[in-house]
């Protein structure tokens, strides 16, 4: 990563520090807060054990409901303990109630096969979808119709909902 630390600082319990996230995740949080300053609801899909972006979004967008989803129940439990609203969900069979009313659904480095699923979900519920893919996944995916955003050394793709 250019200009970032390789490892985030960690609490004594081994969990990532929310106060000093890696620069990469801070850039994503700032991009989202810039694009969606009046968001009411934002959902991160496949958060895993890197909640840095959504933790920062909670402070950057204090009036927005920020939700994390992951397929791993242990990850969701750990995030709940950190005070993050998190739910178990499988994007291949999503519980659309989780996403209803969302201004934005986003995913950081989603596996290649999830990108089309995220686009379909966003289209069905009327939410924009933002992905920050691994560079090779961007080339392997059909991202026609997605807006390419390059900002502060970050490359993201945004699919705007036709219902917004």
- Residues 42-76 have pLDDT tens digits of 999 999 988 999 999 999 999 999 999 999 999 99
Could you report the per-residue pLDDT of 80-101, keeping only the tens digit for each? 998 889 999 999 999 999 999 9
Task: Report whether CATH 3.40.50.150 matches the domain 25-159.
Answer: yes
The whole-number pLDDT of residue 131 equals 96
Domain positions in the chain:
25-159
State the pLDDT at residue 55.
Answer: 92
Element (H, E) at 139: helix 135-140
Per-residue pLDDT for 31 more than 50? yes
Helix ranges (DSSP H) in 36-126? 52-60, 73-81, 96-99, 115-125
Per residue in 145-159, pLDDT tens?
899 999 888 889 999
* 92 phi/psi in degrees, rounded to 5: -75, -25
């Amino acid at each position: 990563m250019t200009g970032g630390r390789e490892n985030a600082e960690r609490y004594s319990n081994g969990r990532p520090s929310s106060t000093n996230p890696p620069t990469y995740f801070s850039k994503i949080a700032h991009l989202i807060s810039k694009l969606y300053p009046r968001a009411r609801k934002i959902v991160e899909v496949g958060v895993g054990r890197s909640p840095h972006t959504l933790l920062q979004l909670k402070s950057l967008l204090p009036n927005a409901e920020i939700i994390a989803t992951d397929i791993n129940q242990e990850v969701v439990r750990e995030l709940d303990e950190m005070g993050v609203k998190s739910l178990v969900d499988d994007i291949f069979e999503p519980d659309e109630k989780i996403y209803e009313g969302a201004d934005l659904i986003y995913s950081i480095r989603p596996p290649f096969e999830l990108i089309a699923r995220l686009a379909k979900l966003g289209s069905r519920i009327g939410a924009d979808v933002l992905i920050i893919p691994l560079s090779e996944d961007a080339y392997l995916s059909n991202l026609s119709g997605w807006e390419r955003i390059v900002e502060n050394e970050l490359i993201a793709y945004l699919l705007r909902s036709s219902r917004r």
